[in-house]
Chain A
């Protein structure tokens, strides 16, 4: 079984400041990690994913995340946020092929302060 913990339910950040959204996972098998973004009253859009290879993953809209196996973390970062980044961010884990059910965290609401 796998699970995801997003410790911060809300993160306020000033515009153009850096941000880090935290995600820790638990899995007994190979782990594949994702970050999705959800704008108000919309579905989820994939930001980035870690399947294998380089532990630093770059995604859309200037976001990146680093897979850290020893700390079981997959934190999302952006060096300079914009008003348009205001949204809910979800970390998710999959057990991989044959066990590909995607399990989501509870989400982090990112609010950008002008």
Chain B
């Protein structure tokens, strides 16, 4: 069964360091999302891509976060510099296109900032 791949699964870093997360969606899925899930809360959308274009990044803290999907396939989410409050699970999800509503999630990348 096709899955959304994410790496690393776990990342521990010190504040002010840079960190990056990678996501490879299910093959053929044009729409890709990055969500942040703080412990004890529901996931919150950071950024949505349609192919290589950003559709919604209104909740992305652009002073320190960046996301790209250069070839419209895999995607990278970067944080620089990391802050203590960035400790969370970063979830990637994808779907075939805008005509679908169901999202398929990866296992997530858990970030701990010390």
Chain A contact residues, CB within 8 Å of chain B? 4, 32, 34, 36, 41-46, 49, 51, 90, 92, 94, 96-98, 100-107
B29 at interface by CB-CB < 8 Å: no
Most A-side CB within 10 Å, residue of B4, B42, B56, B93: B42
- CB neighbours (8 Å) of A92 from chain B are 42
B103 at interface by CB-CB < 8 Å: yes
Count of chain B residues with a beta carbon within 8 Å of a chain A beta carbon? 24
Whether A97 touches B98, Cβ cut-off 8 Å, given contacts A43-B4, A43-B105, A45-B105, is yes
Majority DSSP secondary structure for residues of B touching A = loop
Chain B contact residues, CB within 8 Å of chain A? 4, 6, 33, 40-45, 48, 56, 91, 93, 98-99, 101-108, 110
Q: Which of A32, A43, A107 contacts B42 (CB 8 A)?
A: A107
Q: Nearest Cβ distance between residue B23 and chain A, in whole angstroms?
A: 11
Give Cα distance in the complex from A41 to B107, angstroms. Answer: 8
Closest chain A residue, CB of each to CB of B31: A100
- CB neighbours (8 Å) of B41 from chain A are 106-107
Q: Nearest Cβ distance between residue A91 and chain B, in whole angstroms?
A: 9
Q: Which of A44, A45, A96, A100 contacts B43 (CB 8 A)?
A: A44
A-B contact pairs, 10 of them (CB 8 A): A32-B101, A42-B107, A43-B105, A43-B107, A46-B102, A49-B101, A97-B99, A98-B98, A101-B45, A107-B41
